[in-house]
Structure 1
């Protein structure tokens, strides 16, 4: 065969000439179906992961919030658990420089001037306790000479500790002042502007008494310390609060609380309500506080992931459910049913109150 003669190619089998249009289209359809299936599986797995992660966050946030509240409420009343101080208005020094409506171990929904309201359909708390190791019933004041207050155990006091001077017994019109100790020279403790009277009682709340306001704000459990800021003036009318209100747990959408009251000194808790003790007689008011020996609370934590479908048909319930004032109401947020929720609830004994003398 010469070099110029064209080569003859063998016949190409029909099966090696490529795919037909129909075969390509069928393959594309099969591939698309497979892709859709994979995307559906991925979407379901991702949704399950998000739900699981969000639920874990809700468990952690709710447990943290409940622990913080329990820890402080259990201390409520420590250092001033005596009938002659409970229910009296308390004037605070700077930076608060205000008078709280009344002194108690824990107040549910105190006046909004003391604790500005939180998110809609939530409760607020005001918890007070000291940290001194002295006698919780206080020391009897044997003499008062200006700012010099004579007590039987002056060595129990240190400079820069905070004290409250109270009358000897529950007194109508009582007014207390939280004031610092500036000097100690037995038998005298130097306290300016304390309001102390001869025969009264001096209560030592230690170097770091706590007056803590709790509220749910913008979906977070927040706390403000009256020893560091004026918590009552830290929020605007629109509900925006300053940095004095510190978030301690995220995605907390409800806080509910009720007092446990005893109808007599020996009956134990036999009723629950939100009614803060109040009475025209200071002696009766003090006894009402003495018979308020427990607090039950509920914290509602929300899953951080919103679902495209409504997955919560009704608001959760707790032991205090039964009235509009105590029910958990989440309807303030339009899409509240697109979230999952977890309720944490407990009963906290106000353990410092039973130490006092019983009231009839």
Structure 2
């Protein structure tokens, strides 16, 4: 008989199993790393795309307003005039300062400098077809709801139009009101009533006969007084021609961190300053300056020297990025941004402005987002069209 031998055991040895486990773990690690890197790249791409879209939309919206700014306010009697205005829907003129005193000027643009935070930009324009259609006050205005002018049924003046009464020569304050009736003979009516949002039945100022003019800014429904601001990461708008936004701003574009703006002043002196031949930027500033060199800062002549606006929008991606592996702090963005750093036009010094990127009460650090800056220069094309 042949001796019996136990059959050999079939299978893997412990060494082979350990090698297989290690190879499998390495494959899982590599696959996980690929997925993480892919998601990080996707988040960065999506964030950049969101910032691009939001920033371009915000800048386009403001640029459209700025390109029309100053229409109807071209006359030297109106532009820069400290103006009284009431509005039953709550819109208020932007505050400014003239030699230390608070004023509310009518001008193409009024900037409230926010320092390293977001600025507030107010843009004014009328819609009167005549642009600067006016008539002169013929009898002294001592109060009340009627204004006597020297033109019978002045051309282009209709019921519902917004008017501005300005002293002639300039120096005194202006007053804004609304025509409550189509002019009858040479009488302008500014009676108070529910249909006349800018009227109180009285201008609140006195004007001497032959020493004031009345300018027509067009229908109240098309009066473009707009205030742009940013709060809690949202670009907002207050407007006279958008229902429900007179007192409370409405959201326009999200994920906008800051709006920054600067005046471009024409600082040419004496006879070198000829607006009708074209305005030229000689200095950029976020604050009002003595642009005409008369010794007064914020006087009408300074507001009339605004040749352009420099505007910047800082937008961020909608999706924050995570910290890198083994890190607790995000590094998508590591420092505040600076805008207006380039010298444009040639020969005009830049006035750089640093922008803080944090949003109050945001649960995610600003360093976890990617940002894009959008800048433009908008000529105030109506500034040179003066009667």
Does the CA-based 8 Å contact 1:259-1:296 persist in structure 2?
Answer: yes
After TM superposition, the structure 1 stretch with the greater mean CA deviation from structure 2, 331-340 or 61-70, is 331-340
Q: Give the match for residue 350 of structure 1.
A: 380
Structure 1 counterpart of 2:368, from 321, 338, 341: 338
Aligned partners of 2:152 and 2:122: how far apart in 1?
32
Deviation digits for residues 136-155 of structure 1 (CA, Å, limit 9, x no counterpart) = 22312253585154436634
Who is 1:201 aligned against? Answer: 213
Q: Is the 8 A contact 1:140 1:152 kept in 2?
A: no
Distance in 2 between residues matched to 1:249 and 1:220, nearest whole Å = 6
Match of 1:106 among 85, 104, 109: 109
Structure 2 residue 340 is matched with structure 1 residue 316: no
1:320 is displaced (CA, Å) by: 4.7
Tell me what 1:245 maps to. 249
> Residue 326 of structure 1 corresponds to which residue in structure 2?
353
Q: Counterpart in 1 of 2:259? A: 255
Deviation of 1:179 after TM superposition, in Å, equals 2.3
Distance 1:181 1:157 in 2: 11
1:85-142 deviation line (CA, Å, top 9, x unaligned): 22212312212275652211110107xxxxxx7x9622111111112212x2231225
Looking at structure 2, the residues matched to 277 and 86 of structure 1 have their Cα atoms a distance apart, in angstroms, of 16
Runs of 4 or more off by more than 6 Å in structure 1?
A: 278-284, 321-325
Aligned to 1:125, which of 116, 121, 130? 121
1:19 to partner: Cα distance:
3.6
Partners of 1:131 and 1:209 in 2: CA distance: 6
- For residues 282-331 of structure 1, give each alpha carbon's deviation from its aligned partner in whole angstroms, at most 9, with x where no partner exists: 99822222211111111111122323131333333332589998322336
> Which secondary structure does the structure 2 equivalent of 1:154 belong to?
coil
How do 1:48-67 and structure 2 match up within 5 A? 48-67=41-60
Output the TM-score relative to the length of structure 2: 0.73
How much has 1:13 moved relative to structure 2? Answer: 7.1
- Which residue in 1 is equivalent to 2:136? 141
Matching of residues 9-88 of structure 1 within 5 Å:
14=8, 17-87=10-80, 88=82
| Equivalent residue number for residue 183 of structure 1 | 182
CA distance 1:178–1:327, shift in 2 (3 Å):
farther
Distance (Å, rounded) in 2 between the aligned partners of 1:161 and 1:13: 109
- Output aligned runs, 1:263-278, within 5 Å: 263-264=267-268, 265-266=273-274, 268-276=280-288
Query: May I ask how many residue pairs the two structures share in their alignment?
Result: 326
Q: Unpaired runs of 5+ in structure 2?
A: 95-103, 192-201, 324-329, 343-348
Query: How many Å separate the matches in 2 of 1:318 and 1:34?
Result: 47
Q: Please state whether the residue corresponding to 2:299 is helix, strand or coil.
A: helix
For the Cα contact (< 8 Å) 1:138–1:201, is it kept in 2?
Answer: no
Q: Tell me, what secondary structure is at the counterpart of 2:72?
A: coil
Q: Which residue of structure 1 aligns with residue 97 of structure 2?
A: none
Paired residues of 1:162 and 1:181 also in contact (CA < 8 A): no
8 Å CA contact 1:263–1:270 kept in 2: the answer is: yes
- Measure, in 1, the Cα distance between the counterparts of 2:226 and 2:169: 27
Matched, 1:92 2:86: yes
Aligned to 1:6: none
Whether contact under 8 Å (2:138, 2:148) holds in the other structure is: yes
Task: Give the direction of change, closer, same or farther, for the CA distance of 1:70–1:122 in structure 2 (3 Å limit).
Answer: same
* 1:276-315 correspondence to structure 2 within 5 Å: 276=288, 285-307=299-321, 308=323, 309-315=330-336
For the Cα contact (< 8 Å) 1:213–1:226, is it kept in 2?
no
**Aligned residues of 1:222 and 1:246 also touching (Cα < 8 A):** yes
Alignment check: 8 A CA contact 2:58 2:253 kept: yes
Q: 8 Å contact 2:289–2:297 — kept in the other structure? A: no
Structure 1 residues 325 and 147 mapped into 2: Cα distance closer, same or farther (>3 Å)?
Answer: farther
